[in-house]
Amino acid sequence: MAILSPRMKGWLERFGCHIGTATKSGFPTTIVVEQAAVEGDSVVSFDLTDAQVNHIKDNMQENPYVALAPHAIASIRAAYQFKGAATLSGNTLKVDVKEIYCTKPGPEAALRLDTLPQEHVIKFEESRWRDVGPPK
């Protein structure tokens, strides 16, 4: 289980994510959900529209492992990627995050954060960003 930092939670909840899914044979589809809720340390929950459910439900049945990247201004201010196992129940998509990466272009791209102790993740964030989440 990966642990989301308070900063990650703040940006995810406010702006939602681009959610990358694929068939078992690798045909990719991305949907965008503009809000999320974080449950506990590692579960990100999204309320999908009927159109979004129809768009990804076949992929979810074949291959529930998805990738998330923060939407809107959070793509700039919160350059993270999250990967994990998703469960689609009705219009609710829940993702249990297993991997967290930095996605800032350049040498820090793909730096894995979930394998670091939480205090190191917080230090990493504090060295790069002054905020602890999006503006209220």
Partner 1 sequence: MKLTDEMKNVLKVGSDSSVVTYITTSSCDGSCNVHLQPYTDVYKDEFIFAPDLFAQKTKININENRLAVLTIAHPSEGKTWAFRGPCNLIQWGHPPKFNFHGVTAGDVLEKWGDWGSLESFDSVDDDIKPKAIGQRGVFVLKVEEVYSYKADESGSKIL
Q: Which residues bind partner 1 (CB under 8 A)?
A: 18, 20-34, 49, 51-52, 54-55, 62-63, 65-69, 71-73, 75-77, 79, 81, 83, 103-110, 128-129
Measured from the CB atom, the residue of 36 and 117 that comes closer to partner 1 is 36
Question: What is the distance between the alpha carbons of residues 53 and 57, in angstroms, rounded to a whole number?
Answer: 6
Q: Which has the closest alpha carbon to 99: 86, 87, 81?
A: 81
Minimum CB distance to partner 1, residue 39 (Å):
21
CB of 133 to partner 1, least distance (A): 14
Question: Would you say 9 or 98 has its CB closer to partner 1?
Answer: 98
The dihedral built from the CA positions of residue 7, 9, 12 and 15, taken in this order, carries a sign that is negative
